[in-house]
Homo-oligomer: A and B are copies of this chain.
Amino acid sequence: MSDVAVTERSRVRRGRKIASYDRETIYHILDEAWVCHIGVSVADEAIVQPTSHWRIGDELFIHGSVKNALFQQVLKGQTACISLCILDGLVFARSAYHHSVNFRSVVLYGKGRLVEAPNEKRAALNTMLEKYSLGRSSEARPANDTEMKVTAVFAFPIEEVSAKIRTGGPNEEPEDRALDVWAGVKPVSIEVGELIAD
């Protein structure tokens, strides 16, 4: 796949060397992460809330209560900022300054499209279930009309978006390499355990 177009807003300024606009890279990060943080502006201040997300093609989906206050800004057509970060490691350098983390993050700007067509809405929510467990959408009792009605689903175009990816060991000043200080990476991973049956 190719790069997404880079806009003035989505262009990475700090850490350009670790920036990526590669669509496939961005999709992988979005698909692996369980939680994103969505922000909107209200009266010149930001509101940021965590929420689950999932991807279908070139759109990122979130859902929630139709009464969610943050969603009202999305419905008004305000561009939201969706940001997420997968932590991959704690990076220990020989100098305090060069301590860092390995991570893969995405920042996306976009206007949310309210998914209203019943078939599309149901298909979207089913895709979320499939992210949690393959085949789940055909196992669980389908949502009834009331349950569908109180759930709002939004789709955001994955267009104005960038990723940042840090990997590898610590950066060091050349003169610090000889210091007798332990250094390296402690890998961080998210583990999903076995089902504890209800």
Q: Could you tell me which A residues sit within 8 Å of B by CB distance? A: 13-14, 34-35, 37-42, 44-50, 52, 64-65, 67-69, 78-85, 87, 90, 92-97, 99, 101, 103, 105, 107, 109, 125-126, 128-129, 132-133, 136-137, 139-144, 147, 151, 169-170, 176, 179, 181-198
Q: Enumerate chain B residues within 8 angstroms of A139, measured Cβ to Cβ.
A: 181-182
How far is it, in angstroms, between the C-alpha of A107 and the C-alpha of B189 when the chains are bound? Answer: 24
Q: Which of B78, B129, B182 contacts A195 (CB 8 A)?
A: B182
Is the CB–CB distance between B83 and A48 below 8 Å? yes
Decide: A65 near B142, CB < 8 A? Known: A47-B46, A129-B96, A132-B99. no
Is the CB–CB distance between B192 and A188 below 8 Å? yes
24 residue pairs bridging A and B, Cβ less than 8 Å apart = A14-B69, A35-B101, A35-B103, A37-B37, A37-B50, A44-B44, A45-B79, A48-B82, A50-B83, A92-B133, A92-B140, A94-B141, A95-B147, A96-B137, A96-B142, A97-B147, A139-B182, A169-B196, A182-B195, A186-B194, A187-B196, A189-B190, A189-B191, A190-B190
How far is it, in angstroms, between the C-alpha of A162 and the C-alpha of B45 when the chains are bound? Answer: 17
